[in-house]
A and B are shown apart, each in its own frame.
Chain A
Amino acid sequence: MAAYDRGYADPRRLHGPGRDARLLLDNARAVVAECLDVRADEVTFTASGTDAVHRGVLGIRRGSGPVAHSAVEHSAVVHAATWAGAATELPVDRSGRVDASAVPEDASVLAVQSANHEVGTLQPLAALPDGVPLFVDACASMGRLPLPDRWDALAGSAHKWGGPPGVGVLVVRKGTRWVSPFPGDDRVDERASGFENVPAALGAAAALRAVVAERDEVNARQHALVEEIRAAAAAIPDVEVVGDPVDRLPHLVTFSCLYVDGESLVTELDRLGYGVASGSACTASTLTPSRVLEAMGVLTHGNVRVSLTRDTTPEDVAGFLAVLPDVVRELRARVGL
């Protein structure tokens, strides 16, 4: 609230409130830079994570060759590559890990996420070829995990770490050539466009600091709880737990139940008090299954994605695991299996 009192003005103006807003914006930038262990002048606040992804992928592109991206990228990356008119998809293995050997030599930019947003698998960024500008979509991991070592530009989204919506973070490594793919603007920061939402940027920075401060403890706890869910789900007949069991995000787990429809599964679990997501076609507005599950070649129906929050307790998980086998059994019985 104090941020709204002091940070309402245009940080580009020289009057008192403008200077005040500029100070607050620079402060937010410094906090984010410190949390991510990057330089403050590498950090730009954007209008959303999607905006940061678009500016990152397209801004560091060199030449007009293919925009190569893994088949399991967030749709923001896929849309940017398609918009550029040169998308090339790189296959992934069954756990969702990109095939680093498939990058075309003439690629103009390579876009690979830090971690997959649906199945949690961490990508082998260190194995990717040198010589092609590398954009890393770090939206799923930013705050929870330190940044990977390899990237020329990367993007994050504040709402993913518990910050406000409408704030993205674009980080462009010092020395990387970045050219705006969109019409320019006359902001203080050349990579930004439009009047920055200073209060929201401050909120994003404060939330990031809080997440980073407690991540060692929270990650260890969530990693162990997810381990429990993975083991229990895998013990249910014909349930496939997907994503890498070890090299993964700490808080996310995805599995698919054979012969069960995703919508009924989500609805039934919701009725019992467990809010889960799904990558099944019947739960999507487009009625097509998750591209991620498709690319991995794993079952797309009966899919459940459980995302733990920082205050999910072992009791919550135990309660969920107590009802899950019966819910799956009941739904299968309804279709005669």
Chain B
Amino acid sequence: MTGADLELDCRGMLCPLPVIELGKRYAEVPVGAVVAVLADDVAARTDIPAWCRLRGQEYVGEQPPGRYLVRRTS
């Protein structure tokens, strides 16, 4: 399992709460570091990559299922 510098446990939250959590807290890690979002809401699978695209951050992937990795690039 790829390590992360910050792990956000958003299990049990419905959309858009996991993305809101990510939006509020990704800047806690330095540029280049990775944030992991744990989410069981199915919308996260589409919305977290879309958030990365809209905010210019890098979507690393989903590993394992339900754990979404985002690298802060700016």
Query: Residues on A close to B: CB < 8 A?
Result: 238, 240, 256, 258-261, 280-282, 287-289, 293-294, 297-302, 335-337
Contact = CB atoms under 8 A, between A and B. Distances in A.
23 contacts: A238-B55, A240-B50, A258-B19, A258-B54, A259-B23, A261-B15, A281-B15, A281-B42, A281-B43, A282-B14, A282-B15, A287-B14, A289-B42, A289-B43, A293-B46, A294-B46, A297-B49, A299-B46, A299-B47, A299-B51, A299-B54, A301-B19, A301-B43
Contacts of B24: 336-337
A259 B15 contact: no
Interface string B17-40: 001100110000000000000000
Interface of B: 14-16, 19-20, 23-24, 41-43, 45-47, 49-51, 54-55
Given A258-B23, A297-B49, A300-B47, A280 B15 contact: yes
Contacts of B43: 280-281, 288-289, 300-301
Contacts, number: 63
B28 to A, nearest CB: 15
Main secondary structure of the interface of B (DSSP, over half): helix
> For A297, A300, A301, A336, which residue has the most chain B Cβ atoms within 10 angstroms?
A301
> For A238, A258, A336, which residue has the most chain B Cβ atoms within 10 angstroms?
A258
Contacts of B46: 289, 293-294, 297-300
Contacts of B23: 258-259, 337
Nearest to B53: A297
A288 B43 CA distance: 7
